[in-house]
Amino acid sequence: MADVDKTPGETNPAFLNDDNNTTAIAKATEAGDSSSASPTTAVQKKELTEEEKIEKFRILKNVVIISIAFMFLFTSFNSMANLQSSINKVEGTAALSTLYAALVVSCAFLPTWMIKKFKAKWTLCFSMLCYSTYIAAQFYPTVWTLVPTSIILGLGAAPMWSAKCTYLTQVGGKYAEIVGENAEVVIVRFFGIFFLFFQSTQVWGNLISSSVLSQGVANEEEIDELALLSCGVNFCPHIASSETTNITNLAKPPISKIYTMASIYLVCAIISSVIIAALVDPLTRQVQTDSDGEMWGGGGRGLEGRIERMREE
């Protein structure tokens, strides 16, 4: 019977911790395989000085404040955009199409220029004000107000999102340097905090819309079962019947309720800009700068470095 080759195969670092397999870890260390010696590659944490603790708190504060500002902004914008097909059937849907066409153009040309010109903080602030113009147009919704403000919003949206990503990425790298953690892990954590607030906007916005639109609406009238058969995919607004003509919630909401919602959402949008302007620290305070004034880790060189690392991997 042939001898079985008992030469150990390549060590898989994914299984080094199985069953407290300290022997495998020791062997990997002796073999000089530093990447397999430890189940984690995070930088060793260090004792923070008082200044570093303050800087750490400041970074976390800025991440949360930016997240809250976006929550206010998109509570207003998402809710108003959701209602366009109901309150502005023709002009509203055309304006939304124009908005995203302008956004495509903005993505190609404006983000880099605006962030270099105004820096990340003020790019966020000015771009958020672009959203306020669109919401203000809801007080007089015509083609001549909705379409131009949609273009303004679309042009401002791309720099705003780019500035947000720039800010979170830069402060994430600085935070990782302070606390001694892996930068990629910290950046992902910061984006998770941001989207925790951002994804809640549909909840708050729909609560506001529902509260305003349900004011003064009696719920005493019962709808016939035959009317329910014409709901959903079976409903056609051009075919009236005795079952569907009594359904009153298909009509456009009263103008007073539209004004109330627009007022609430406009205030929320303006608050978001004020929050950024008043409470967020400039990015240059959080990160290092070189002799040319470029932000540490940012710009084209930062992108080139990331692409180069991806190629090596």
pLDDT tens readout for residues 86-124: 888 888 889 999 999 999 999 999 999 999 999 999 999
Place of tokens 């273009």: 151
pLDDT above 90 as % of the chain: 55
Q: Which residues are CB-contacts of 105 (< 8 A; sequence separation ≥ 6)?
A: 154, 155
pLDDT attached to residue 233 = 64
Is pLDDT at 6 greater than 60 in this prediction?
A: no
What the block records as the tokens of 67 is: 């997240």
In this predicted model, what pLDDT tens digit does every residue of 128-154 receive, in sequence order? 999 999 999 999 999 999 999 999 999
289, 280 Cβ separation under 8 angstroms: no
Structural domains in the chain, sorted by start: 59-214+251-282 (1.20.1250.20)
Mean pLDDT of 183-202: 96
Mean pLDDT of 231-253: 60
Helix, coil or strand: residue 247: coil
Confidence band of 187 (pLDDT split at 50, 70, 90): very high
